[in-house]
Amino acid sequence: MLGKVCVVMALALAGSAGAATTGTPPLVAAYAKQLTARCPEVKGRPFGDQVDLNGDKIDDWVIDATRHGCGASNSLQAENGALVTVFMGAADGMAYPAFQQAAFGSRLERTGGSTRLVVTVAGPPCEADSMTVKCDRILRWSALRKRFELAQATPLSGTADPTTK
């Protein structure tokens, strides 16, 4: 799976120069285009969410491949889920990769005046050996590392089957 992650990110970086910008940063558009090429069933549907996740008043981009089924091919899924990728928005209108994790989904939670991303993962990210153990982890911004990171795991009850929540 890691090899596929690197290939997809490299293709997105390579294709970003020629990507159309209709309010979507070129790198985000190129990455979404690469995912759509691997999963033609989603053509025409948006792949991501535009939301400020780090409190800098600039929208970041969340692309969660688990939110867009690929029909019978299921080419975006693997045993450990599908990729959730976050691009950090920049003041110049660009966006840069700041997080990527194989997951079983994500959701945005709005609390107070802020929005956070909760990512459902399984196995080692949940401090467990088995992929049948799933947990929710909140995405947090690390100003020191200039990237998003998963916070401490919150176990999910009844997660013996990794395909259910």
Q: Give domain status of residue 52, yes or no.
A: yes
- What is the chain's alpha carbon radius of gyration, rounded to the nearest angstrom? 16
Rounded to the nearest 5°, which phi and psi values hold at 77?
Answer: -100, 150
Q: Is residue 32 part of a domain?
A: no
Do the domain assignments include residue 95?
Answer: yes
pTM: 0.76
CB–CB of 103/137 below 8 Å?
A: no
Closest CA to 6 of 85, 80, 77: 85
When pLDDT is cut at 50, 70 and 90, the band that residue 18 belongs to is very low
* Within a domain: 21: no
pLDDT mean across residues, the chain: 77
Q: Does 76 reside within a domain? A: yes
Give the pair of three-digit tokens for residue 7. 């290939």
Q: Report the number of distinct structural domains present in the chain.
A: 1
**Residue 118 and residue 108: Cα distance in Å, rounded?**
6
- pLDDT for the residue numbered 78: 65
Confidence of residue 88 (pLDDT cuts 50, 70, 90): very high
Confirm whether 94 is domain-assigned. yes
In this structure, the dihedral spanned by the alpha carbons of residues 36, 39, 40 and 42, taken in order and rounded to 10 degrees, is -70
Residue 18 lies in a domain: no
pLDDT band of residue 129 (cuts 50, 70, 90) is confident
Note whether residue 1 is domain-resident: no
Domain of residue 115 covers 48-155
Read off the pLDDT band of 96 (50, 70, 90): very high
